[in-house]
Every structure is written in structure tokens, then in C-alpha cells.
A and B are shown apart, each in its own frame.
Chain A
Amino acid sequence: MSKTKPLVVENLTIHYYTVDGVIKAVRDVSFDVERGEAVCLVGESGSGKSTIGLAIAGILPENARIINGKILVDGINILELSERELEKIRGREVSMIFQDPAASFNPLFTVGQLLSDIIRYKLGIEDKEELRKRVIEALKIVALPDPERIFNSYPHELSGGMLQRVAIAAALLTNPKIFIADEPTTMLDVTLQFQILNLLQAIRRKFNIAILFITHNLGVAAMICDRIIVIYAGTIVEIGPTNDILRNPLHPYTKKLIESIPRTSAKISRLKYLAGSLHDLREIPRGCIFRPRCDEAFEMCEIETPKLIEIKPRHHVACHKYRVK
């Protein structure tokens, strides 16, 4: 049945070639996203979460190499496709929205021109009336007031929140199977963030689209996602249903991450935090990569890299603590 899943990632390994050496940014990452499901990739800067998103969208920077693994979009391994075949999937089966909406639009064209171009290029529709109709329809779906006016506006005439709505409309135009949202609300104010998250949720329900949401904010993940994937230094340390992860985090890193967040719901007298810094990803040590920052490490952690094991239904963790003896 795995073939019908909109997204399956298997053993994905990605390296960056830089003047300072090879950065092993993503190592042996596997996960899947079901139809209509929202899954969050949560991690701090340098965890590799955006690299995974870019790889799935087929837009990795030139110095990145996919060393190993498969990315199956609707059962097709996009890593085996030629550039021409990939062009049919990129932006059509897979759509992506980015952090800075102002930077993702060409400032010289109106919203109408930009969005019409996407349909013309990806779906081959040339009829002007039809194009206009479809774009206006999409602008209505994302609840933009006065879509006719927006159609004729230039990106700079719209606010950040409105532009992010236009970006979502643009991503919807081709009826994609999966949406990749890379920190789409990080630049927005909280009240706007709330609106955009609600909008994404509504769209997911309406069109049964799968969403891969990339964020550093566990609160945002809690609001929108069914499952959370916690990623640290390029590997998955924990995957599980959102409620499980937040209530009973298993991995020491997940625990620390949750504890370090200040809350509005309760007064905390002292914040806990994660000491030390992220490992240099040019040299991957033997054993668990989190070990130098882990309070609970023991001998085993130095010898062997922990594998993801299922502790509870659908809740996996990569930590030697949970190994059955």
C-alpha cells in the first residue's frame, strides 16, 4: 500500500560540498506522509530540516549531492527522473511555500500575471478568461478580500500576511498531492500566524492535501500537525503522534527542547536549556551524535549509532535507553 502514499522518503542522505569540507547535513532519514496528513519536521538551525524540504521539492542548491536514498512522490522516485520529467512533478505534484513571501515573488509582475504563468506553464492552459477565472478562484479559497483588486496588485502593494496567502493560492493552483511549507509563518506577527495556520488547516481538510511542515517552533507544530518528526544534526531522533511527543517525549533531546520553551500558560521560575553546541557535521562521530550534550548517555552511546525503534504504536525513538535487552 505504501505506493499510494503521497510522500515516502527512504534512507535519504545529503551532503554539501563546501570549501571547508563536506558537510553531512542529512543522514539516513526515512519517513512518510499519508494522504491528508500534516507532518512536522521540527529542529533547530543546522538540523537539516530545510535541506530535506528542498530535496523533496527538487530544488537543492548546486553544491548539494544526494548520496543515497529514495524520495517517492505518489510512488514515483523523483531522484531517478530526468530534469524534464522532474519539471512535471516539481510545482505540480509537489508545491512549496517559503518563509519570506516577499522574496518568493518577482516584484515586476502583478499577482495575476505571476499566478496565471504558473497555470500556463504547468497545466498548459492558454485561454485568458480561463486563467483569470482559476486565479481568482484560488485567491478566494485563501480568503483574500477583494480578489479582483489583488489580481491586479504588485507584490509590494500587499502586506506580509496577504502575500503569504497569495503564495498559498499559488501553491494550490496545480492541485498538488503534497505541500511543503518551510517556516511559512516565522516572519509573521502572532495574530497573522494564527490566521495562516488556520487557513492551511482548512485547506488540508477541504482538498485532502498532505502537508510537510518545516518549523523550529514546537508550538506551531502542536497546532497544525498530526505527527511530529524531531530532527537533530541531520538525523531523526524521534517520530510520533503530536500528543504523544508533547506529553511523553522519549528522546533526551526532545525532552530538553520542550523544557527550554518559555510558556504563557504558566510562570516558570527557571528555564532548562541544552548545554553545548551542535556537532561539526563534517566529521560524524561513532555512536550517537547527541551524546556530548546528553545527560543520560552511557557506554553504548559511544559505540553504536542508535536506530529508530517503535516503542508505542507509531511512536519511534532513536536512543539506546529504550533498547530491549
Chain B
Amino acid sequence: MSLLEVSHLVKYFPIRKGLFGKIVGYVKAVDDVSFRINENEVFALVGESGSGKTTVAKCILRLIKPTSGKIIFMNKDIFEDDRESKWYHKNVQAVFQNPFLSLNPRMRVRDIIAEPLKTHYKISDDEVDKIVYETLEKVGLAKTFAKKYPHELSGGQAQRVAIARAIVIKPKLVVLDEPTSALDVSVQAQILNLLVDLKEEFKLSYLIISHDLSVVRYISDWIAVMYLGKIVELAKTEELFEKPLHPYTQTLLSSIPEPDPESMKLKKEAVVIGEPPSAINPPTGCRYNPRCVYASRMCRDREPPLIEYEKEHWVACWLYYKK
């Protein structure tokens, strides 16, 4: 069942110049993005810096208002009625990249985790304590951590606290924005395992934002690949890794260095050209065409639509249009 539906989401940021803040252009951060997250599923948005993945997450978290488009959560338009905001945030929580920036340094772990509880429920302090301790245990931290301040924690422990704060009110959806990219690999493995366990236990859905395709392969059910504000490919995880269709997805997959001598031999042949262009003046036609080895005139002139090339596998590329 669909939990969250994003349809035709657009977010332009105006560029202002001069004394009167005249708008001289727009950064087209997100340009017509649609996807759906089902209950108890993990949906991943992957892409490089500037692809707009975090802007999509910010819109979903109601941190910014989209220029146009709709986000429907449990059959309600989340931007239609501001009075629903409290209900919405009881169901949608977030974990960010750097726990030391997202946890208040002047609050103890106990108060950090208690805050969403107190906001959404009227319960006694004893009950709050009980739930906080339970949640700490769920994220693999001992009771003694409740008294600590964020600066006394390691990166992995702090990220566990951030996860505890997100799940303490039993939300339906947790937005994970690069949840492990600030951590060492061995700690990353622990956090990823924890996220998988919590998802099963609490029947959570995740929207995970990441630039790391190997992390995404481990955790997600669906993957959408973004490039300069557009989804270029969308498929089930296994399908995407086995049969990447879009030339950008292929390049992205072959650029990842893996500690595996056999796979590296293949990768030496991968072709990557040029730098990502800016979202202020995206190239005409297909936005990937200046870097694409298959680009033809058609690609420079017209923008390819996102089509369902195979069952449950969408791609926006003229190479696949004729079928």
C-alpha cells in the first residue's frame, strides 16, 4: 500500500542580485520528480552533489515549500492544511548525516529522546523515562547513556541517539539523509544493520538519501537515480544493479571502487567524461547529454520522458524510447 506519494514535485530557488534583490535566474534543484513509497519499504534516492536529492527530502520533511507539485501522505496533501503539521511530524521523522550537528549539545541524551514524546503525548516523567530507556536499548545503547551529553559520545553512538529520537514516537516513515557517510566503515555496518532490524520490528518505511550505491544496495527495496533535479531511472534494487539502463546509472555503478580485484579489472574500462553541469542553466534536451557517450542530436534537442521500459523499471533516455 502506498504511504507517501510525490507527484510532479518542482523546487526552484531564485538567484537574487543587486540592491533590490532582483531575480536574475533560478536554480532548478528539483524539476518534476514523482515517486511512491510503500508501507514497510525502503526507497532510496541516489545521486551526486547537486542532483537535488536532499531538496526532495527537505520538501518531504516540510522544511521548505515546493514551487509546485504535491506530496500526499496517507491520502492527505501535506501542504494543504498547516493544522495537520503536528500529526504529520508524528508520523514522519528524520535522521541526518552529522549527529553532532543534529543533536542539541546542551541537552542530555535522555532529554533529546524525550523531546518528541513530550511534544506529541501528555505523559508523566516516569513514563517518559521508561520509554526512553526502552528505546535506548532498542538502538543498542546502555541505560547509562541517558545522562550523557552529545560531546561525550562517539560518532556511531551519537547516530544511534539520533535514530532513537526518530523512532521513539513510532513514526510510519523515517527520512534518512546520508545516515552513515560521516562514519567509519565498521561503524557504518553496525548502523546499517540496526536500521534494517528497526524497520522490521516497527514496520517502518524509510526514504534514504545517499550518494553511496553500495549502502543503498544493502538496505533498500527501490532505487531512484537522480541527475540534475530529475529522476533518470527508477527500479527495484536488484533489477537496477543487474540491468542498469540509463548511461548515467551505468557510469555511476562502474565508478564505484570496490575492494575486489576482479571487479576492478572491469571497471578500468569504464568511461566517465566531464564534470556535472550546474543546475542554474541545465543543458537543453537530456540533461546528461554533454557527458553521455551515446548522445545524439535528439538528446540535445528534446528532453526524454520517464517511461516504463520494462515492468517496474522506468528510465528517461531516448535509447529506450522506440521499443
Contact = CB atoms under 8 A, between A and B. Distances in A.
Interface in B233-283: 237-238, 241, 251-261, 263-264, 267, 270, 272, 275-276
A216 B260 CA distance: 15
A207 interface: no
B61 interface: no
B154 interface: yes
Contacts of A197: 257
Interface string A248-268: 000000001110111111011
A23 interface: no
Interface in B172-200: 184-190, 192-193
Nearest to A276: B186
A45 interface: yes
A194 B270 contact: yes
A268 to B, nearest CB: 6
A191 interface: yes
Contacts of B193: 270-271, 273
Contact of B251 (A191, A221, A257, A262): A191
Contacts of A162: 275
Contacts, number: 116
A190 B211 contact: yes
A263 B258 contact: yes
B217 A45 contact: no
B192 A271 contact: yes
Contacts of A217: 257
Contact of A219 (B188, B237, B259): B259
Contacts of B185: 44, 216, 218, 257, 260-261
A162 B276 CA distance: 11
A65 interface: no
Contacts of B258: 219, 222, 261, 263-265
B211 A262 contact: no
Nearest to A275: B190
B295 interface: no
B290 to A, nearest CB: 12
Contacts of B187: 273
Contacts of A95: none
A263 B37 CA distance: 24
B260 A272 contact: no
B215 interface: yes
A189 interface: yes
B267 A223 contact: yes
Interface in A186-229: 189-195, 197, 216-223
Interface stretch (A56-64, A70-78, A111-119, A239-247): A239-247
Contacts of A220: 257
Contacts of B254: 194
Given A216-B184, A223-B267, A194 B255 contact: yes
B39 to A, nearest CB: 22
B192 A262 contact: yes
A134 B258 CA distance: 37
Contacts of A191: 48, 251-252, 255, 272, 276
Contact of A192 (B186, B260, B275): B275
A44 B263 CA distance: 23
The 7 residue pairs across chains A and B that have the minimum distance between CB atoms: A219-B257, A273-B189, A218-B259, A274-B186, A189-B48, A194-B255, A260-B189
Interface of B: 48-49, 154, 184-190, 192-193, 211, 213-215, 217-218, 237-238, 241, 251-261, 263-264, 267, 270, 272, 275-276
Given A221-B259, A264-B213, A267-B238, 14 more contacts: A189-B211, A190-B211, A192-B48, A194-B255, A216-B185, A222-B260, A222-B264, A260-B189, A261-B189, A263-B260, A265-B260, A267-B218, A267-B241, A273-B193
